[in-house]
Amino acid sequence: MSIESPCVDICKFDDKTGLCIGCLRTRDECKSWKKMKDKHRRKIIEDRPRRERKLKK
Provide the pLDDT confidence category of residue 1 given band limits of 50, 70 and 90.
Answer: low
Domain boundaries along the sequence of the chain = 1-57
Please give the angle made by the CA atoms of 7, 8 and 13, to the nearest 5 degrees.
75
Report how far residue 10's alpha carbon sits from residue 37's, in angstroms, rounded to the nearest whole number: 24
Provide the pLDDT confidence category of residue 57 given band limits of 50, 70 and 90.
Answer: confident
Report how far residue 27's alpha carbon sits from residue 10's, in angstroms, rounded to the nearest whole number: 13
Instruction: Please tell me the pTM assigned to this model.
Output: 0.90
